[in-house]
Structure 1
Amino acid sequence: MTKLKKDKNKKQNAFTQKILEGFLKLLPSIIVLLIIVGAALYVINTKAPTEVKEPIPPYAFDGNDKPVVIDNGQLKLTMDPATTEFTVEVKDSGKVWYSNPKDAAEDTAALDDQKNYLQSPFILSYSITQGLETTYNSFAFSAQNGIYEIVPGENEIRVNYSLGSVQKEFTIPPVITKTNFEKFMGNLDKKEVDLIKQYYKKYDINKLTPKDNKDELLASYPVLETDVIYVLRSGTKDNVRKTIQDKFEAAGYTYDDYLADKELDFSSSSSDTPVFNASVIYKLDGKDLVVEVPFKDLDFDPETPIYTVTPLPYFGAGGPEDQGFMLVPEGGGAIINFNNGKTSQSSYYTNVYGWDMCLSRDAVVHNTRAYYGVYGISEGNDSFVCILENGRSYASIQADIAGKNHSYNFVNAKYSVCQREQYDVGDIANSEIYEYATDLPDETITQRYKFVNSGSYVDMAKTYGEYLQKEYAGYLDLVSDTSTPVAIEMVGAIDKVKQIVGVPVSRPLKLTSYSEASNILDQLTAAGLTNMHVKLSGWCNGGVQQKVLSKTKTVGALGSKKDLQNLISTAEANGNTVYLNGITQYAFNSNILDGFFSYRDAAKFISKERAELYEYSNVTYGQRENADHKYFLLHTDVANKYADNLVKASQKYGAGASFQDLGMDLSSDFYKKKTYSREAVLNEQVAKLENYNNNGTPLMINMGNDYAVPFCQMVTGMDLRGSEYTIIDECIPFYQLAVHGRVDYTGRAINTCGNMENEILYSAEYGAGLCFELMNESSFATQKTLYTQYYGAYFDAVKDNLVNIYTRYNKELGHTFNQEMTGHDNLTSDVSCTEYADGTKVYVNYGYSDYTADGVKVPARDYVVTR
C-alpha cells in the first residue's frame, strides 16, 4: 500500500515538473504577448496630444507716409512707404529706373489681379502635397493689408513682408467697456454714434440672450464679469472699419487706447489661409543696386512650403510706347525687342545651369539651360545688366512681351526655394503627391544690378566682362595665343557587346590606340596645325562610357602605359596639350567589383531613394527603363573623390585633366547623412577647380558654366547659338564679348555636329576656336554599338577637309584670339559683323545670297575678314 502511494506521488511530481518546464519555455512568449497587448491597449485608450501650430506673427506697418530715401552719391533710392515700390536715380546720367511700372494701376489691358502683380516688388508662390501652386504678390497680400515693415539703414533698406489674407489692422477698439464707449461717443453727433453702434454688439452678463454662450463669452472677454462691453462684429468690412477709425480718431481715441482695449480681447480667430514672412534687402554698392533675400528670414508652415520667390519681377519694365529690348542668356545671348508683336508665341524661359539631376522627372521634351546667370534691359540711351550672384543655381530666367496679360515688357529671375519630388501613388490616389525639401540651407539669394550709361548690348557685355575680371582677378587675364586654338577629341575605346562562349559580354573596342593618336597628331602638326588641345576620351576604365574612377586603369587594347606617356610627351614637345578625359559625377555600368556600391555611393533624391537615372527617348520623350540606359548620380563626396583621382592620374602622366561633366552639370544631393544644396555643390566645384588650377594642372571642361570658366584653359562644346525660340528677335555673342581673349573656347565638333557649314559660321561670328572629333578606325567599327555619333570621326576621311578648314580659319582669324572682342552688330537678319581690338572685322553671311556691307562683299553662306 505504501509502495503504491509512493509510486503515485512520484508520477504526480513528474507530471507537475513537466507542466512547470513547459510553462517556463512558454514564459518569454507570454511576456512578449502581454507587452504587445498592453501597448495596443495603451495606444487605443491614450489620446494623442494635439499638435498646436504656432501662428506666424505678421509684421505691421507703422503708418509713416514719409518717403524712405538712401543716397550714396552715385545712386539715389526713393521708396514709397505705402506700397514699397521705389525708384533708383543714376546720378551721372539722370536716368530713373522704376521697380514697378509707374502707371500699372491704370493699365486698361490688365485685369485686377495682373495690376496687383505689376505693383508688387516681390512675388512668392507656395505649394501643397498635391502640387497645387498658389501665388501671392506683395501689393495685394502685404501692402494693402498693412502687414509689412520698412527698416532703413546706412545705404540700405530692409523690407520685411508678411504675405497672406491677414485682416488689416485698424485703430478701433475690438472690445471696449460701456463706460469708455459712451465717453468717446459723447464727442460725436447722434448720426455718427448710430452708425458706429450698428457694427458693435453689446453684452451684459445679466442680460444674455438664449443664443449667447456665457462660458465662451467669459473665456473670450473676462472683463464681461464686471463690466458691460461692446464687441466689434466680425463681419465688418475694411472700408467700414476705416470709417469707424476716422470717427474714433475725431473723438480723441488714441493708439494707446487701442492697445489697452486689445488687452480685453482673449478671443482667437483662426484662418486656414497660410501666411508667409520674407525679407528683401536693398543695398547701394557704388553704382550697383544689390538685392538680397535671406533664406533664414523665410518663415512658413511646412505643410505649405514656399516653392518660388521672385524679387523685383518688373524692374525696368518697358511700356507700350517705350523703345528698347530685353537681354536673355540664350546661347551666347539673345535679344527680345519691346512690343515685338509676337503675342501668340510662348514666353521665354530657361533654367540657369540646366536641370538639377537630383530632382526626378518622368519625361524630357526639351532641356532648357543657360550657362551664365545674367539678364538685362536696354531703354533708349541707358541700360542695366542684372547679374545673379548667390543662389543663382536655383534660378530660372523668364521674359515676355507686352500685349498678353498687360501692357509691359519684362524679364526677371524666379528662384526655387523648397525643391519637390513627385510620388507615383496611382494605386491608392488619383491626385499627384509631392514631397518637399523644407529644411533650407543658411544661404542668401543675391542679385546685382549694374547700370550702364549706354543702350548698346556691347557696352552691357563689357560691363559684365569688367565684373568677371574683378570677381576672378588673376584668372581671366588675356591669353598669349598667336594662332587658332583647336580642340581635338581622340576617341580611344568604346564598349561593344561580344559573344564569349555563347555569353554576351561588354568589352572595350579600340577606335584609336595611343600610338595611332600620336601618329594623327604628327600628321596634323606636319599639315600646319598648332595650339592643339587634345582631349583623350575612352582611355581608361572600359572606354568612353567609363566605369567609376575609384581607380584609373588604362585600356589594354590601346597600348601600354609607356605608349600613353609617349603620346603626351610628343604632343607637349610640339607645343600642344593632352587632357585625359573622365566622368566624375555619374556611375555607368559599375558595380561593387569596380568600387561602386549604389546604396552607399549614389546621391539620394528627396524621397531618400537612390538617384537612379535614365536616358530619354527622342520619340516618346519618356524614360528608357532598361539596363543599357540606366546610370546613377554620385554622392557629392564620392564625386569629389573621383575628380581628385582623375587629376592625380593626369598629373602622373604629365597631362591636363578634362572633365566630361564637372563644370557643365550641377546637381544637389539629399543624402541623409550629408545633404548638399545645389548652391553648396556649386561652391564645391569652384573650390576644386581653383585648387587644381593653382596646382598647375591644365583643365578642360564642356559647355562652360560661368563659375568654372575662369579656372580652365579650354572650354569645348560651348552653346554658341542656343535654341532660336520664335519670341527672340536677335542672337548676339553677349557672353563671348565678355570673355573673348581671356579663355579659349569652341563650339560643337565641326565634323560630327550635323551641320558643318553652320558651325563654322557660328565659330567665326562668336570668336570661337575649332573643334574636331577623330578616330583611327572607320565608322563601320561603331556599327551595332551605342556610339554612332562618331559616324564622321574617321581621320583618313576628314583629314583633308579638316586641314583646309583650319588653314583658312587660322590664316584669317588666328591673330584675334589674344584680343578682346570690341564690337558686334547684326546688319540684317542673316548678316553680322564682329570687331576686335586691333580693328579686325569679321562679316558672316548665313543667307543664301551675297551681301555687301561697308563696301565688303560677303558671299552667301560664308565669312569675310578685313584688317
Structure 2
Amino acid sequence: MINKVIKVIHIMNRKTIIGLAWLLVILCIGSWLILRIGLADGSAVTFHYDSSMGRPAGLPIGDELPPGKGLQTFAEDGQWVFSADLDSQLFQVRDKRSGVVWSSSPVPEALTATNQTASQIAGSPILLSYTTQFKDILTTSLLTEDVTWKSFKMEGGVQIYYELPRLQLAFTVEYTLRDGGLHVRLPEDGISEGGAAAITSLELFPMFEAAKQGEKGYVVVPDGSGALMYFDRPHTFINRGYEKWIYGVDPVFDFSRTPPIGERLTLPLLGMVKENGGYVQTILKGAEDAKIVINPPGVYNVDYYRGGMEFALRKTYATKLSKAGSDVLLVEKERIRSDREIRFDFLAGSRVGYPQLAEIVRERLMSSDMSPDTSLGLEQTSEGDPYNAPLIRLLMGTEKREDGLSGSLVITTTFNEGGVIMDELLQAGVEKLTVGLKGWQQAGAYGDTHHSVKPDARFGGEKGLNRLLQQAEQLGVAIALEDNETDIYSPRKSKVDMRSQVVRKPDGSLYTHLPLGPTGSYRTEPSWYLLNAAAAEHMRGPKLDAYEELGVPTVNLQRTGDTLSSDYNRKNPLRRNQWAIHEQQALSDIRSRLGSVGVFYGYLYAAKEADRIIDIPISTSPDDLLDEQIPFLQLVYHGSLTYYASPVNRSENPQMQLLRAIEYGAIPSFELTYRPTVELRDTYEDRLFSGEYSEWMADVQKAYSMWDSALKDVYKHQMTDHREMAEGVYRTTYEDGTSIWVNYGSLLYDSNGAVVKPMSFAVYKGGEGL
C-alpha cells in the first residue's frame, strides 16, 4: 500500500514537473515574443527633428475668438476672400471678380439626403486614423467624434485647436490666405497624444469641392504623366478608391511580393475642374510621407467624388518573429515628426481645364516673388542646351549572373566601339546626338559604383574613355556618364560596412531588394542592398574629384529621381523627407562641380535640382478609375527641363512610343550595344532583348527626323495647351504658337486646316492649323 502511494506521488511529481517545465517554456516564449516585438519596433531609433513653432504644443498664436454661427470673413486680398463657419467647420474661398466660391465640403443643405454617419464624414474637414495597440488601425472623422475646438485669430486667417476627449488626442490646424492661395497647415508641435490612442494618419480637406455623379468636370491625378477621372462616367460599380503614395512606396515599408504595376506619383498635387472653374492643391511640406486618396461615389456610403491628401504620422511595417514564421504587421511607435502643409490655388471661368491648372503650378514653381516655402524653384531651360537631342544610352557591359559563370564580364560595347557608333550615326544623317554611358565602371552595370570611378580596363580604361570624350567634343556630341550612389550589388566588391552604411528596415533588419527578371517578376536571388545617404555623402567628394580629373562633362544619377527611402540604421537614421534633402544636396554638389546633372523618372524634389530627366513617364497606370491619359507632368516641366522618353527599343510598340514622345514633347531615346545582345542572356540585363545598334540604325534615323521636325525648336518653350481634337487625334500647343498634331487612328484627319496622316504627326507654326 505504501509503495502504491509512493508510486502515485512519484507520478504526480513527474507530471507536476513536466507541467511546470511546459509552463516555463511558454512563459519564456511569451517573454521572448514580447521582447522581439519591442526590439522590432522602429521607435528604438531616434530621428532628429527641428521644431518649427518654438513653443509648447497647442499654444495659441493670437486671441481666442468667441463662438459664432454663420460665415465670418477671416482674410482677404485684392482677389480672394477667405471665410469660415466655425460652428459647422465649413471653410470657403470666394473670387471677388467672378463670385465663384470653393468649399471645404458640401454645404449642410446638400447633406440632408445622406445618413447621419455619411453626413458627418462628408461635412468633416479632417479624417483621422489611429491605433491603440500598434496593430489594428481605426478611422474616424472629426465630426463623428465628440470633438471640441477653440479658435484663435492669426495673421491672414484662423488657428483652431481640436481636442478628441474619447481618444485623448489633440492637434492644431492653421487656415490662412497667403500669397494668393489658401494654406492649410498642421504643425508637428501642435499634436498631443495623451492616452492609449496614437494617430496614424490625418487627411486634410478630404471633401474639398466634392462633386456629384453626372456633374461636368473631372479630377486631375498626377499618376505617371497624368490622368483624369470624370464625374459623368460610371465608377460606382468599382466600389473602391484610388490610393497611392507620393514619390512611390517607401522601400523599407514595402511588404509586397510582386513588382508594382503601373506608374508612380511624380508631383505632390491633386486638381479638380468643374463647370465654373478649378483648383489645384499642392503639398508644400510633408509630401514624402503622404498619399493621394480619391474616392468615387459609394465608398463609405458617401455619394460624392472627392479627393485629398492623407499625411502618414505612423506607418505599418512587416516583421518576422522567427525565421520560419509568417510576417506580422505592426505600426511603428515613434511618430513621423514633420510639419504638414497644403496650398490651394484657384482659377475661375468656364474654359478652365487641366492645362490652365498646370500653368498655375508651373508659374508658382518658377516664381521668385513668393515666399521660399511657396515657390519651389524650377528654372527656364538654358539657350542652346547641348543635351537637347535624341539620347543613345550605350550599355558597356555587365558580369554574368551569380547562378552562371560568376565574375565573367560580358562586354557589349567598348569605348572604341562607342566611337564607331557615333561616327556611323552622324554619317547616316543624325546631325545632333546625346550619348549616355551605362555600366562603364569596374565589373560593368552591376559592379562597384561607390568607391571606384575608374573605367574598367576591359572597356578601354581611362585612355579609352578620354579618347571617346575627345572624339565626342570634336563631333559636337554631348556625353553623360551614368552613376548610381544608392544600389549595393555586392557588399564584398563595394567594400561597404554592412553594420553602419546600409539601409535598415523598422525592425532593424537589413533592407534588401531583388532584381527583375525578363518576364517582369522578381528573381529569387541575389539580395541587393541600399547604401545610406550619410555614406553616399562621405564618398561623393572623392568621386567628384576623380570625375574632374577624367574630364567627365556631366553625370546622370540613377535612383535619385525615382527612389525615396527611409533608413532605420541606428547610426544615421533618416525619414523620407530627410533623405530627400540629402539627395537634393547630392544633385547640387554634382551640378556645381560638373555644370549639370540628370535624374531618372522625375520626382519633383529631385527634378527641381536637375537639368534633365531620363525615362520620364509618358503613360499612366492601367486603373479603371482613371479615364483618360494626359501630359500633366510635361505641361509643368516643358521649357524648364530637358526630358527623354524611355528607350524605343525597349517598347512593345516602337511606333506608338515615338508618336507619344512627340505628342508629349519628350526627346526619343534608345538603349543600344555594339555587340549582339544575345550575350546578355545570363546576366541581369537579360531584359534588353534587342539592342544591337546595327539592327536599330533605321529607327534611330527615323526618331531623329521626327524630333528634328517637331521638337528641336520648341525645347525652351512652355507647353501651353493639350487637348483631344477628335477620337485618337491630339494637339499640343507651345507658347511660340507652334502646334503639334498626332493621329493614332487608321484614317486621315482633315479639319479646320489641319491635315494629319494616320499613325503620324503634323507640325504647324505660328498658330496655323488651329
TM-score by length of 2: 0.84
CA displacement, residues 137-196 of structure 1 (integer Å, 9 cap, x when unaligned): 11121xxx352111121212111112353xxxxxxxxxxxxxxxxxxxxxxxxxxxxxxx
Aligned partner letter, 1:559? G
- 1:757 CA drift (Å): 1.4
State the SS of the aligned residue for 2:406: strand
From 228, 233, 244, the equivalent of 1:350 is 244
Q: C-alpha distance in 1, partners of 2:546/2:212?
A: 58
1:93 is aligned to: 98
- Percent of aligned pairs with the same residue? 21
User: What is the CA–CA distance in structure 2 between the aligned matches of 1:129 and 1:624, rounded to whole Å?
Assistant: 36
Give CA-to-partner distance per residue, 1:249-291, whole Å, 9 cap, x none: xxxxxxxxxxxxxxxxxxxxxxxxx332111111111320111
Within 5 Å, give how 1:672-751 maps onto structure 2: 672-751=570-649
Q: Distance in 1 between matches of 2:393 and 2:519?
A: 29
Distance 2:132 2:653 in 1: 46
CA spacing shift, 1:554–1:326, aligned 2, 3 Å: same
Give unmatched runs, 5+ long, in structure 1: 1-55, 166-273
Does residue 416 of structure 1 match 2:316?
A: no
**What are the Cα deviations for residues 450-489 of structure 1, in whole angstroms up to 9, with x where unaligned?**
1123422111111111011123557334543599521211
Q: Does 1:574 align with 2:478?
A: no
The Cα offsets for residues 511-552 of structure 1, whole Å up to 9 and x where unpaired, read as 100111112112222233344332111110211112241232
Q: Tell me how far apart the structure 1 counterparts of residues 565 and 325 of structure 2 sit (CA, whole Å).
A: 30
Give the alignment partner of residue 83 of structure 2, picking from 74, 78, 81. 78
- SS where residue 725 of structure 1 aligns? coil
Alignment of 1:821 onto 2:739: no
Secondary structure of 1:319's match?
Answer: coil
Q: Which has the larger radius of gyration?
A: 1
Which residue does the alignment assign to 2:417?
Answer: 516
Shift of 1:412: 0.9
Mapping 1:496-507, distance limit 5 Å: 496=400, 504-507=405-408
Question: What residue identity is the alignment partner of 1:641?
Answer: H
Label 1:781 to 1:146 Cα distance change in 2 as closer, same or farther (>3 A).
Answer: closer
Query: Does residue 495 of the first structure (1) align with residue 390 of the second (2)?
Result: no
Q: 1:449 to 1:323 in 2, by over 3 A?
A: same
Change in Cα spacing, 1:554 to 1:480, as seen in structure 2 (3 Å) is closer
How far residue 645 of structure 1 moved from its aligned partner, in angstroms, is: 4.8
Distance change (3 Å), C-alpha of 1:153 and 1:775: same
Question: Among 512, 516, 519, which residue is 1:612 paired with?
Answer: 512
When residues 497 and 323 of structure 1 are mapped into structure 2, their CA distance, relative to the original with a 3 A threshold, is: closer
- Aligned residue for 1:602? 502
- Find the counterpart in structure 1 of residue 141 from structure 2: 137
Q: Which moved more, 1:826-835 or 1:357-366?
A: 357-366
Does residue 330 in structure 1 map to residue 223 in structure 2?
yes
Amino acid at match of 1:601: Q
What is the distance in 1 between the residues matched to 2:645 and 2:169? 45
Q: What is the CA–CA distance in structure 2 between the aligned matches of 1:576 and 1:309, rounded to whole Å?
A: 51
| Distance in 2, Cα, partners of 1:858 & 1:481 | 30
Query: Structure 2 vs 1, CA of residues 450 and 95 (structure 1 numbering), >3 Å: closer, same or farther?
Result: same
Q: Distance in 2 between matches of 1:130 and 1:107?
A: 37
CA-atom RMSD in angstroms = 2.8
**Paired position in structure 1 for 2:20:** none
| Aligned counterparts of 2:376 and 2:326: Cα–Cα separation in 1 | 51
User: Which range is displaced more, 566-575 or 444-453?
Assistant: 566-575
The Cα of 1:631 is off from its aligned counterpart by 0.8
1:419 aligned partner, one-letter code:
K
Out of 433, 447, 450, which is 2:342 matched to?
447
1:119 aligns with 2:119: no
1:216 aligned partner: none
Q: CA distance change for structure 1 residues 481 and 146 in 2, over 3 Å: closer, same or farther?
A: closer
Distance 1:735 1:117 in 2: 32
1:156–1:355 Cα change, 3 Å: same
The equivalent residue for 1:269 is none
Distance 1:670 1:375, change over 3 A: same
Paired residue type of 1:611: Y
The secondary structure found in structure 2 opposite 1:325 is strand
**What is the distance in 2 between the residues matched to 1:152 and 1:339?**
41
Q: Which amino acid aligns with 1:543?
A: G
* Change beyond 3 A, Cα 1:84–1:617: farther
| Structure 2 gap segments, 5+ residues each | 1-56, 368-374, 766-770
Tell me if 1:395 matches 2:271.
no
Q: 1:344 deviation in Å?
A: 1.8
In structure 2, relative to structure 1, the CA distance for the partners of 1:336 and 1:366 (3 Å cut) is: same
- 3-state secondary structure, aligned to 1:665: coil
Who is 2:550 aligned against?
653
Tell me how far apart the structure 1 counterparts of residues 383 and 632 of structure 2 sit (CA, whole Å): 19
CA pair 740-105 structure 1, distance change in 2 beyond 3 A: closer
Partner Cα distance (1:92, 1:574) in 2: 57
Deviation at 1:90, TM superposition (A): 2.0
C-alpha displacement of 1:398? 2.0
Asked whether the 8 Å contact 2:58–2:161 carries over to 1, the reply is no
Flag the 1:498–1:354 CA change in 2: closer, same or farther, 3 A. Answer: closer
Q: Which amino acid aligns with 1:76?
A: V
Task: Indicate if the aligned counterparts of 2:294 and 2:306 stay in contact, CA closer than 8 A.
Answer: yes
Seen in structure 2, the aligned counterparts of structure 1 residues 548 and 807 have a Cα distance that, compared at 3 Å, is: closer
TM-score, length basis structure 1: 0.75
Q: Kindly provide the CA deviation profile for residues 44-67 of structure 1, in whole angstroms up to 9, marking residues without a partner as x.
A: xxxxxxxxxxxx999999644475
The residue identity in structure 1 corresponding to 2:508 is K
Distance in 2 (CA, whole Å) between partners of 1:805 and 1:428 is 53
Amino acid at match of 1:494: T
- Aligned residue among 266, 269, 281 for 1:371: 266
- Tell me if the contact between 1:579 and 1:650 (Cα under 8 Å) persists in the aligned partners: no
2:40 match: none
Specify the alignment match of 1:148 in structure 2: 149
* Aligned counterparts of 1:427 and 1:111: Cα–Cα separation in 2: 49
SS for the counterpart of 2:599 is strand
The residue number in structure 2 matching 1:636 is: 533
The separation in 1 between residues aligned to 2:134 and 2:377, in whole angstroms, is 47
| Structure 2 partner of 1:199 | none
Tell me the amino acid that sits aligned with residue 607 of structure 1. D
- Other structure's SS at 1:494 match: strand
Task: Work out the CA distance in 2 between the residues paired with 1:429 and 1:815.
Answer: 60
Does structure 1 residue 460 correspond to structure 2 residue 460? no
Instruction: Give, in angstroms, the shift of residue 569 of structure 1.
Output: 2.0
Q: CA deviation at 1:431?
A: 9.4
Partner of 2:191: 298
Matched, 1:436 2:337: no
Of 412, 427, 446, the match for 1:526: 427
Q: Distance in 1 between matches of 2:699 and 2:324?
A: 61
Contact 1:61 1:147 (C-alpha < 8 Å) held by counterparts: no
Deviation at 1:732, TM superposition (A): 1.5
Report the equivalent of 2:43. none
- Matched residue of 2:491: which SS? coil
Q: Deviations over 1:423-467 (max 9, x none)?
A: 2348999994414041433x2111111112342211111111101
| CA–CA separation in structure 1 for the residues paired with 2:223 and 2:529 | 29
Match of 1:22 in 2: none
Q: Secondary structure at the match of 1:283?
A: strand
Q: Which amino acid aligns with 2:172?
A: S
Letter in 1 for 2:159: R
State the structure with bigger RCO (CA 8 A, min sep 6), 1 or 2.
2
Distance 2:401 2:324 in 1: 42
Show CA shifts across 1:121-151 (max 9, x none). Answer: 011101244632111211121xxx3521111
Could you report, residue by residue, the CA deviation over 1:4-63 in whole angstroms, capped at 9, with x for unpaired residues?
A: xxxxxxxxxxxxxxxxxxxxxxxxxxxxxxxxxxxxxxxxxxxxxxxxxxxx99999964
Q: Do 2:93 and 2:102's aligned partners in 1 also have CA atoms closer than 8 Å?
A: yes
